Structure 1
Amino acid sequence: MKSRFLKPFTLSLALAVVATACAASASTPSPTSSASSTLSGSVLISGSSTIEPITALNAEKFNRDNPNVSIAVEGPGTGDGFKKFCAGETDISDASRRIKAAEAEACAAAGVSYVELEIAVDGISVLTGLDNDISCLAFKDLYALLGSESTGFTSWSDADDLAAELGSVVAPYPDVPLTITAPGEESGTYDTFISLALSPVAKARDTDKDARPDYVASPNDNVIIQGLSSTPTSLGWVGYAFYVANQNKVKALEIDGGEGCVFPSINTIQAGTYPLARSLYLYVNTAKAAEKPEVAAYVDFYLSPEGLRSVSEAAYIPLDSYDETVAAWNER
């Protein structure tokens, strides 16, 4: 499904729109409701820790009118979530990236059919300690500090020669400790960061596109924030909402994707000018949605005006239109 970023506008207007996001209107069809106060059963959800706050908030809201439905939400990472989903172990998979070909093949082999629903827009925030003097990094800098050729670097200045070779305008870097805490390979946030920031440089150099292996990896965004905030010259990345919730503890860096330094914000992510913007998704097992009324009812609620308000309430950014998302669900 094509990503649909909101057009930029002033922050005050953006917040006003966020506060009333997805109110019922003629331009956005409503999902066919299957909710009932007599519902019972269970909904099993796994996947991205990034989208988990939205999904968990909607589980809480849904349970107010459907207390007999047990909803389990966990966030081990997009990749691990798809493993469970394609094995038929879960009903819904949260994802901070689109399903990979190998994952889709695993689903097909297991007879798991699904519908992809785009839910929100997010921006990967590259973070450091509050007292770090660095303010902007280009993709070349991110590769010099975090790419496969930086393995073994323990100081920012260790990357100076590589950065100079790449043509960095930020280097030389300060001679301070480089401690990295970030998502692991099971994370969709890891995959998206590699794809957007590191892979283009690695491809040009014919090197491994993955991040250096010698960093502290965690599937838990709160653990990552804790690691980044504990060291003044740390480096790592998380979803935008986790930065917003912790901006008194960590500093977000501007990112230069080739057109100048851009700070992650509602406006820049909506406009698509922030180089690390991405979409967030739900994948729903269509057979289970047909067999289990509680699964269909939960997704109906998720795509209702109240459910979609959870996107902004959890500090994420709504799509400019949910027409395609709702149509995909109704046509499943």
Structure 2
Amino acid sequence: MTPSAETTLEAARLSVAPMMDWTDRHCRFFHRQLTARTLLYTEMVTAPALVRGGATHLLEFNAAEHPVAVQLGGSEPQELAEAARMAEAAGYAEVNLNIGCPSDRVKSGCFGAVLMKSPGLVADCLTAMREAVSVPVTAKCRIGVDEQEPREVLPAFLAMIERTGVTRVTIHARKAWLQGLSPKENREVPPLDYPLVHQMRAEFPGLHISINGGISSLEEAQEHLGTGVDGVMIGRAAYHDPGLLLFADEQVFGEAPSGKTRRDVVDAMRPYIAAHLEAGGKLAQITRHMLGLFQGRPGARAWRRILSEQAHREDAGLEVLERALDALPETSLAA
């Protein structure tokens, strides 16, 4: 059953960012074993791939992943509308438009961060998407691109978004430089401007604004929430140290402590992994997302090494997971 818009809105208090090659359906299922409340996002799925290419397999997900949102990439309003309809039919609880990715792939397709230079086109895209579906349509953008002055551009951009009827925006608090910086550098080199995003929340009380970029812990997330922003999106930190999500429901959503351990999480993954292997899948397709589960704990290096070296073998099965667990001291498994 698809969650209600209210449930998705509540979940957006904390979300895991859409990350290409990382937040696939196996990653999201794994993250859901760590947190029941956090909003999860797909990798960016391009509208042309769905509408023209018929690549509906890109929308596959497990109902246990809910609340889960799909992020679409594109710049043709009617094509995005059709892709949004397909995503809603597939059961997604939210459809998000990518206006923030700076990679060469999205620049060549005229979508992602480059769209911040075409606010009228973005308005057309968001309007078409909203008219096509009943689930929430949201946007994820940067504070600006290239030579744009964020303090001038961002308020005008958010005002445009608000006029379309879209009420939820996630802002990556960095500029994107479309020439001269690689996608990796665009995640690290441009300076963060958190105060500007905090200011936008005050200036646009009708918008639900989440902040993204460089946030590496739940403590930092809580600090941002304390400034008045409505939500926090965590990216690479949640992927490389997924154990932090184990405490999200308690620390961010106010739930009672679950008592769940990292061993419990691994145990919860066993049936899912077994079914994937039975269907002809490979162990590494799932365990590559689990490498950081014991980050910072005794035995973490051995856990990563065993999974990295052995899960890629053609005949690798659950026994590899067992060997990796055996390399961990009980103190790491019990917390």
Range class of TM-score, shorter chain: under 0.3
Q: Using structure 1 for the length normalisation, give the TM-score.
A: 0.24
Give the number of the structure whose residues are more often helix, by fraction.
2
TM-score, normalised with respect to structure 2: 0.24
